[in-house]
Chains A and B, each alone.
Chain A
């Protein structure tokens, strides 16, 4: 029945939505930033632990749609152990992938995040996928203010 949606709602996304990874409050986080999508009211809080330049741990709280939950769940997994610069670079690639600016997805660069490439066909949902990354960006830049996708 939902043939058109297979690209968007891949099984991995349902899986992360059902069982989000790193879904907990972090004690003694080095960074903590709220992300907010005013369009739908979705909120999340991102926590990071840093060791110098390295992101040693990441977790989140909040609730959102399957796309935004899967995105933040995948993101918190993938950025662990990365340097801040590597994480920022991933954000750039992810942004290009989801907004469709980059025709060919560099599968090696995005890794597991490729399951979210389908949102490019759903402009109304791009912000769901990118909220996590905008929040990460703010956290890395050490902005204290809540992030809004507006």
Chain B
């Protein structure tokens, strides 16, 4: 049940606007306002999906590099970025995020999508792609997963499961905003110095000003299954089995220093996806690879754009 809703004003301070200069757009879905960025030209549609605890701000350096060649669309999930944030933790299931992004795609009539995904963007995009494979023309996959068994990092009590344990989670992730204040720093490599202080860290802080605005940051980790019977175990088991049927071209780009999804996850995707033509490691890249290697990501996206045939009118 959706009750209280935290709504961001949409006001962006000048120093953040200077590095995230996009016009904000909103669309109403289920009575809630979803924020997104749309930049670029007529042509292939690239949908950039973020993870936790980030938002479309994550793609701020990539969008200008690709938008001269395509239509770049970057939504903020509900609960993240400048989108509305219902207070009910139960709202933020993987199933609901996938349903709402599907609705977003339908409402914007996005066709022949090239997905660009990292972290939670992976399970959400693969959920969409398995249900609508005919509407996906490619995917750039970065530091994510699509199977039920947790990575070693996600299975460990310290720090991951402790971070979102009952009462500890609301303390660390809601009161202390630990994933934004420290997690981003810990999960970047080349760009790590940016996350000590300054406008980039302030940009990530912007949507999450109060504990009540951070519920989805806590809910995402609780959606990661640990064992059979857990929420999303069956969903992600089916997801993994479905990968072999996805015939659109995929490319992999991976931050090699990621301890959340180490390079063996990239090899696992390569073995599961039938049309995965490229695997590129960034040796000094980590989990938030968009911060560490925006130029390399833009190159990979444009390779997919080149391969995409012009969309047919429907």
The answer to whether A and B assemble together is no
State the A residues within 8 Å of B (CB). Answer: none
State the B residues within 8 Å of A (CB). Answer: none
